[in-house]
Structure 1
Amino acid sequence: MSDSIQKYQNLLSVFCDQAEKYADEPYLWSKNKKHYQFLSWNDTYLRVKKLANYLKKIGIESDSKVMLISENRPEWQISDLAIMAADGISVPAYTTITSQDYEYLINHSETKVIIVSSKLLYSKVELALNKLKIERDVIIIDDFGPKKNNLITIHKWDDIQREPAEDDIDQISYQAKRKNRKDVACIIYTSGTSGFPKGVMLSHGSILHNCEGAFEILGPELNDIENVLFLSWLPLSHSYEHTLQFYNLYSGNQIYYAESLDKLLQNLSEVRPHLMSAVPRFYESLLQKISLQISKESKLKQKLFNDTIALGRKLYEYEKLSLGSKMYNKILSLLVRKKIGSRFGGRLVGLISGGAALNYDVGISLYSLGIPIYQGYGQTESGPVISVNYPKNNKIDTVGRLLPNTDVKISDESEILVKGENVMNGYFKDPDATKNAFSGEWLKTGDVGVFDKDDYLVITDRMKDIIVNSGGDNISPTKIETMLVMEPGINQAMVYGDGEKYLVAIIVIDTSFVNEMQPSKKIIDEALKRVNHQLSAIEKVKNYIIVDEEFTVENEMMTPSMKIKRYKVLEKYEDALRALYTI
């Protein structure tokens, strides 16, 4: 980023400036008794200040780790800022993972304090701490009374916020003057090929780099809007939504928190946001729902809908429209696009897609229906954004142009390499993995790509084994495969599901275990049930195919080091695996 827009040295300095500028104006909105209510910038500042002071009192020191486990809500942003203001490092964790996952994250990250929202999530944290046999302070957000546990010291959110403010102690402004752009702001865990998550250390500068770049790109589209509203629903533990929270802080936008995925469309019509982020799964589901509703309408309405997509696509792909088609297209904008747009509140400037590849047909169909969808690209290790499409510069079959002051080159192996302030400081406590993630100064993304003639980046393949499902979740197949082959009756396994809604698998039966008294399907069903019981929702294997041929070096399905050559296996079995998604 050029020095001219590197205005801030850390995220807290942004918060200080914005809180002073916007004062009593709304900042964070959440549902309370069926209505959205807001916390002002001043309200938020006071809550951050109280929590930061309390964290210092219970022992948070320089670079102490504080784990944050919560649904999207104002307390999430307040906690994240307070952890930084207490000179700690936040460790966001998904709400959907298992107690075993929390056990690993707490232990590996050396978490000292845990902030957890609900009774259900607390029960998983308690199980993890019991297994680790370690004492920890736990701050609970919701008002419930956990049973006494000698390992856990409970602190209640409401009690902390009821304490009188200490006017002479302001950790926020103190750390805002002290921290620099290279200091670690958070550690976000992402799956690794070994099956164990790796802790990505993102600096203040990494996140600010993304904020500054997004502000420069989106500014011209939003400058004339007095109050920009952002609807947040993707998990804040994901680097994508996490960084977007700070983009909205940086831009002075108001953040509304959706109640749940089930109520997202309702919240969209209530909030009428200008911006929202989503993953491809959401867009796939959205198009399916719209198409299903239209299929129940009259033949005329179905024709208008289909014509809207056809003409929108033709116009987007730079084919000329006849005078008659142009007039018809304008009529379709009034009859179809305006009606669909009203479901989203009628004032969307951008729906930003990230976390996984957006199917072109889905993207072009929604865009043709008047939904302003823009695909971006990145990964946790890059802050996360590397490139993005945006209004007036949108090519749906690409992941856009590079974010300002981001360098990308294509290696001799066609791998995308990235360099810039957005790139991580490294993996926490894993120097070997950090070293392997770089080629000199360049971060190896594990993705294969090219630049088109207009310098838009196009992703063509993945070099990594990591599965990214259609929801944008990173899943380690190695972890699941290792669990499967430990089950009686399973000799080998390969998990599949990149870009899909759920996982499926190829199973090679252990013939020495199967007999006529125990049919192979019954054995596998029981084994899969046991394994799935130990996995989080996104890791569960929903279906499988059984094959007779083993993966070997001789048939080129295994490397000499006995690793599965996934692309070779898929050459033979991908059609059968894809068929599982149509059952």
Structure 2
Amino acid sequence: MHTIPRLFMRSADRFGARPALLEPRSDNAVTTLTYDGLRERVLQFAGYLQQQNVSKGQRVMIWSASCSNWLVAYFASLLLGLVVVPLDVNTKEDFLQRLLEITDAAFLITTQKNYTSLKSFSLPFIDIDALPTAELTTAQLPAVEEGDLAELVFTSGTTGQPKGVMLSHKNIVSNAIASLEVVKITSADRALSILPLSHMFEMTIEMALIYAGASIVYARSLVPDTLFRLLATQHVTCMVLVPQALQLFMNGIEREVRRQKLEKQWKTLHKIARWTPFPWRRHLFRSIHRRFGGHFRLFVSGGAYLAPMLGRAWEEMGFRILQGYGATECSPVISVNPIHDHTLESVGQPLPGVTVRIEADGEIQVKGPNVALGYWQNEEATAAAFHDGWYATGDLGYMDKQHNLYLKGRKKNLIVLANGMNVYPEDIENVLQTQDGVKDAVVLGLHEKDQGPTVHAVLLMEDESLAKITIQSTNKQLAPHQQVKGFTIWSEQDFPRTHTLKVKRQEVLETLSQSRQ
């Protein structure tokens, strides 16, 4: 079972006539591909690739937004023993060129629009919107083993040496199946897909959904009205997202509450819900559940820190929130909160088969079948992060007696003051983000002349005149060594972010440093 083609073929055999992938068209109709239909498309495209005389182990790049044909190309490539290099849809040409040099890829699968935007790129192109077909000669298929490389996922930005995480078939399949044991997805579920398949969080959960025989609905647009229409018309039951997307949904709901001048009733319902059994809460907030289509039951949140206050607000409305924690090098899920009896301050318990230990300096290390093979053609980076089967995450945290895992922040983000005290920026950011008028905040260690670093907040605010009061209010809730000594108002509409909406701290720091010169 521990290869992706075997997982996929097993599901196609079991769930043949059930809907696998649903995709909205420009006319608002939805195209449905059953498990049988998906398998047929995979075999046809694999036949075309086979005729191109590809060989096992060759790399193929997929550069596109998530769609049905993304998975067709993915499964077909892996069936032939190829290695998929997934690229974020916003990848720039210079980075694309660097990855081509590093991976020596055989093909680029992308849209005609993306390909024609490239000025000097010679890799053979396959149009993802019109995948070519041919008859597959099954007798010539290579043997694909669980230890074979399945994906090369590059995690760095456009500066520095890109690191390609080498994920085997076993890494991904074991993580998908283990995740399913905790999240409890079934063939009756329908998931709305809004994250890119180039990100392992989305990819592994989609593998879990397919293993369970569930259906995946792709969203072509992230416009809230479009998403709500899909949630309602497609009977969506679950969604994988990042915390900022949860906040954006909540912002939209609260705007409507204010528009209808129902703020007092809204606060009262939340107070009542805290003392109400979970199944009954959806009746208190029935209008919200109708907006979500009436079938929705849970969110799986990951990729960044989820503020407990935000998670609790959703659970008070009768929406279950499962917070997970992971890293690309772990395929990516390390831990997740169980559906029942969980605390939103924690990122959950390690998945079945995954072992977590906390080193003396507080670093989280992980061991299990999901841990990557290392970094592509980078022995130095591999030796630094992987040792005796353990992966050093670079994250700081601790575990309680119930094996719940808690995060403190990133080792590289840790601010060490001149007096030797440690400051975790994430702790301060969490307090700042609860302040009225603060849309987001980044806390950095800013060096002042010959002194050591001081705690500096960069604020994204609706009303800049409230900044000083915000800092004063925040400092009252912090220990003396944590207190913010200076602040800057971010001049742009938003912070620079990754494709999973994480703030690019280094870019914020560089911009701040340049403005102070």
Same fold (TM over 0.5): yes
Counterpart of 2:176 (choices 197, 204, 211) is 211
Q: Which residue of 1 aligns with 2:162?
A: 197
Q: Which residue of 2 aligns with 1:423?
A: 371
Counterpart of 2:11 (choices 14, 18, 25) is 18
Q: Which residue of 2 aligns with 1:169?
A: 138
Q: Which residue of 2 aligns with 1:136?
A: 123
4+ aligned runs moved over 4 Å, structure 1: 329-333, 496-500, 542-545, 549-552, 570-575, 578-583
Which amino acid counterpart does residue 128 of structure 2 have in structure 1? I
Distance in structure 2 (CA, Å) of the matches to 1:331 and 1:431: 55
Q: Which residue of 2 aligns with 1:514?
A: none
Distance in structure 1 (CA, Å) of the matches to 2:389 and 2:107: 34
8 Å contact from structure 2 (residues 58, 83) kept in 1: yes
Q: Which residue of 2 aligns with 1:376?
A: 324
- What is the deviation of 1:278? 0.4
Using the size of structure 2 for normalisation, the TM-score is 0.79
- What is the deviation of 1:81? 0.5
Residues 1:289 and 1:250: Cα distance change in structure 2 (over 3 Å): same
Q: Which residue of 2 aligns with 1:510?
A: none
- What is the deviation of 1:260? 1.4
SS at match of 1:375: strand
Q: How many residues align?
A: 444
Residues 1:372 and 1:572: Cα distance change in structure 2 (over 3 Å): closer
Whether 2:92 is the aligned partner of 1:94: answer: no
8 Å contact from structure 1 (residues 71, 117) kept in 2: no
Residues 1:184 and 1:551: Cα distance change in structure 2 (over 3 Å): farther
Residues 1:199 and 1:415: Cα distance change in structure 2 (over 3 Å): same
Counterpart of 1:285 (choices 248, 254, 267) is 248
Residues 1:346 and 1:66: Cα distance change in structure 2 (over 3 Å): same
- What is the deviation of 1:27? 1.2
Whether 2:457 is the aligned partner of 1:464: answer: no
8 Å contact from structure 2 (residues 66, 218) kept in 1: yes
Q: Which residue of 1 aligns with 2:348?
A: 400
RMSD of aligned C-alpha atoms?
3.2
Percent identical:
27
Which amino acid counterpart does residue 555 of structure 1 have in structure 2? Q
* Structure 1: gaps of 5 or more residues: 1-7, 130-134, 143-155, 316-325, 467-495, 501-541, 559-569
Counterpart of 1:251 (choices 208, 212, 235) is 212
* Deviation string, structure 1 residues 14-57 (Cα, Å, up to 9, x no partner): 11122122223321111133211211222211211121122122
Residues 1:579 and 1:53: Cα distance change in structure 2 (over 3 Å): closer
Q: Which residue of 2 aligns with 1:39?
A: 33
Q: Which residue of 2 aligns with 1:348?
A: 296
SS at match of 2:401: coil
Which amino acid counterpart does residue 126 of structure 2 have in structure 1? I
SS at match of 2:295: coil
Q: Which residue of 2 aligns with 1:107?
A: 101
Q: How does 1:469-488 map to 2 (within 5 A)?
A: none
- What is the deviation of 1:193? 11
Q: Which residue of 1 aligns with 2:75?
A: 81
- What is the deviation of 1:580? 6.2
- What is the deviation of 1:373? 1.4
Whether 2:151 is the aligned partner of 1:186: answer: yes
Residues 1:368 and 1:575: Cα distance change in structure 2 (over 3 Å): farther
Using the size of structure 1 for normalisation, the TM-score is 0.70
- What is the deviation of 1:347? 1.8
Q: How does 1:162-561 map to 2 (within 5 A)?
A: 163=134, 165-166=135-136, 168-169=137-138, 174-175=141-142, 178-191=143-156, 195-219=160-184, 222=185, 227-262=188-223, 263-298=226-261, 301-312=262-273, 314-315=274-275, 333-334=282-283, 336-465=284-413, 554-557=450-453
- What is the deviation of 1:106? 1.7
SS at match of 1:180: coil
Distance in structure 2 (CA, Å) of the matches to 1:82 and 1:331: 45
Which amino acid counterpart does residue 30 of structure 1 have in structure 2? E
* Deviation string, structure 1 residues 442-461 (Cα, Å, up to 9, x no partner): 11101110112321100012
Residues 1:416 and 1:330: Cα distance change in structure 2 (over 3 Å): closer
Residues 1:332 and 1:415: Cα distance change in structure 2 (over 3 Å): closer
Larger Rg: 1
Counterpart of 1:576 (choices 477, 480, 487) is 487
Residues 1:449 and 1:578: Cα distance change in structure 2 (over 3 Å): farther
* Deviation string, structure 1 residues 259-302 (Cα, Å, up to 9, x no partner): 2111222221222212210001101111111111111223xx32
Whether 2:20 is the aligned partner of 1:51: answer: no
* Deviation string, structure 1 residues 420-452 (Cα, Å, up to 9, x no partner): 010011111111001111243311101110112
- What is the deviation of 1:72? 1.2
* Structure 2: gaps of 5 or more residues: 415-424, 430-439, 455-480, 495-517
* Deviation string, structure 1 residues 198-230 (Cα, Å, up to 9, x no partner): 1111111111111111222233xx55xx53211
- What is the deviation of 1:398? 0.8
8 Å contact from structure 2 (residues 371, 389) kept in 1: no
Q: Which residue of 2 aligns with 1:533?
A: none
Distance in structure 2 (CA, Å) of the matches to 1:279 and 1:544: 17
Which amino acid counterpart does residue 400 of structure 2 have in structure 1? D
Distance in structure 2 (CA, Å) of the matches to 1:330 and 1:114: 48
SS at match of 1:460: strand
* Deviation string, structure 1 residues 240-263 (Cα, Å, up to 9, x no partner): 001112111111111111121112
